[in-house]
């Protein structure tokens, strides 16, 4: 594998990214390796955004490319649909933030791993998160954000889950480029996923699905 997919995503060359994906799959490349290339590309784009070298249109375009690539990879990675789900995970980008690149990658990886994933999208009101966690008996809640202003929304969401009497039954992970251990402490969450692979491992541990 040449790394061509990573470069195509970084350069926002949608047609090339989809073509390379198809060619790599036909050539027998491990789909997980392609997912990893995409993750690395998103890390680069996210850093460029943080440094002021990329802007919202680029993020939106990159997200659309990712959706196209993951749609082609999913049939090759999907866990046995007839098998028992590992657990239920609610995912969202918190209120006040509209970025979904990282969240979408995590959603895809959790789905592939065998979780029931409920993706609420972006800029999700706190009350909606609480309602969804309660109605679906979710074991894991993932809160994503790319902007530092999302930290207060993360904190408010965790507090609302606690106030609803659900905190003891759900583990909460944070995600996004600016998230650190300090942010986890501030929001009173349980942990943060450095990347999609780490997020899946956390979910497996918490849902009792780790081998």
- pLDDT, tens digit, for every residue of 46-74? 778 778 898 878 877 887 898 899 889 88
pLDDT in tens, 155-205: 999 999 999 999 999 999 999 989 999 999 999 999 998 887 789 889 999
What are the structure tokens assigned to 205, written together?
A: 């541990």
Residue that wins the pLDDT comparison between 13 and 43: 13
Residue 211 reports pLDDT greater than 50 = no
Of the listed ranges 1-10, 75-84, 127-136, 198-207, the least confidently predicted one is 75-84
Domain ranges of the chain: 4-77, 88-207
φ/ψ region of 176 (left if φ > 0, alpha if ψ in -120 to 50, else beta) reads left
Alpha-helical regions (H) of 11-55: 14-26, 31-50
CA–CA separation, 16 vs 30, rounded Å? 19
4-77: CATH class: mainly alpha
pLDDT above 60: residue 144: yes
Largest distance between two CA atoms of the chain: 52
d(CA 143, CA 121): 11
CATH 3.40.30.10 for the 88-207 domain, yes or no = no
């Amino acid at each position: 594998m040449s790394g061509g997919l990573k470069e195509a995503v970084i350069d926002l060359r949608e047609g090339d990214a989809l073509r390379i994906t198809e060619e790599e799959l036909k050539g027998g490349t491990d789909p997980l390796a392609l997912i990893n290339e995409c993750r690395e590309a998103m890390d680069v784009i996210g850093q460029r955004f943080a440094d002021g070298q990329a802007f919202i249109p680029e993020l939106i375009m990159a997200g659309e490319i990712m959706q196209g690539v993951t749609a082609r990879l999913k049939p090759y990675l999907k866990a046995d649909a007839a098998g028992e789900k590992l657990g239920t995970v609610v995912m969202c980008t918190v209120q006040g933030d509209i970025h979904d690149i990282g969240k979408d990658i995590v959603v895809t990886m959790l789905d592939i791993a065998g979780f029931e994933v409920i993706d609420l999208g972006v800029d999700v009101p706190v009350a909606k998160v609480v309602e969804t966690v309660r109605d679906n008996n979710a074991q894991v809640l993932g809160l994503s954000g790319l902007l530092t202003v999302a930290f207060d929304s993360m904190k408010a969401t965790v507090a609302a889950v606690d106030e609803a009497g659900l905190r003891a039954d759900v583990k909460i992970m944070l995600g996004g480029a600016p998230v650190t251990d300090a942010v986890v402490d501030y929001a009173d969450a349980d942990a943060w996923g450095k990347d999609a692979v780490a997020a899946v491992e956390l979910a497996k541990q918490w849902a009792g699905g780790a081998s």
